[in-house]
Structure 1
Amino acid sequence: MRRLRRAHGVRGEDILFDLREFRLPDGRELLLYGHAPHEGEVRACLPPAPDSGGGHLRWHPLRREWVAYAGARQGRTFLPPAASCPLCPAAEGRLGEIPFGHFEVAVFENRFPALTGAALPVELGGIETAPARGRCEVVVFSDDHHAGLGTLGEDRLALLLEVWGVRAEALGETYPYVFPFENRGEEIGVTLHHPHGQIYAFPFVPAQARRAAQAQAEAPVIEGLLRDAGALVVEETEVAVALVPPFAIYPYEMWIAPRRRVAGPQALDDAERQAMAGLLGRAVRRLDGLFGSPMPYILTVQCAPRGFEATFHMTIDIRPLRRDAGKLKYLAGVEQGTGVFLADVLPEDAAARLRAVPAGEAP
Structure 2
Amino acid sequence: MSNTPEPTPPGSNRGTTRIVAGETSKPKRRRTLEIGIAVGLVLLIGAGAAVASVVAKNNETQAAAATTPAAELKLGYFGNVTHAPALVGVSKGIIAGKLGSTKLTTQIFNAGPAAVEALNAGAIDAAYLGPNPAINSFVQSKGASISIIAGAASGGAQLVVKPGINTAADLKGKTLASPQLGGTQDVALRAWLGKQGLKTNPNGGGDVAINPTDNAQTLKLFQDGKLDGAWLPEPWASRLVLQAGGKVLVDEKDLWDKGQFPTTILIVSKKFAAEHPQTVTALLQGHEASVNWLNSASAADKATAINAALKATAGSTLPADVIDRSLKNITFTVDPLAGTYKKLLQDGVDAGITKPADINGIFDLRALNSVTGQKTSAAGLGQD
Give 1 or 2 for the bigger CA radius of gyration.
Answer: 2
Task: Identify the structure with the greater helix proportion.
Answer: 2
Q: Same fold (TM over 0.5)?
A: no
Higher relative CO (Cα under 8 Å, sequence separation at least 6) belongs to 2
Calculate the TM-score normalised by the size of structure 1.
Answer: 0.23
Task: Identify the structure with the greater strand proportion.
Answer: 1
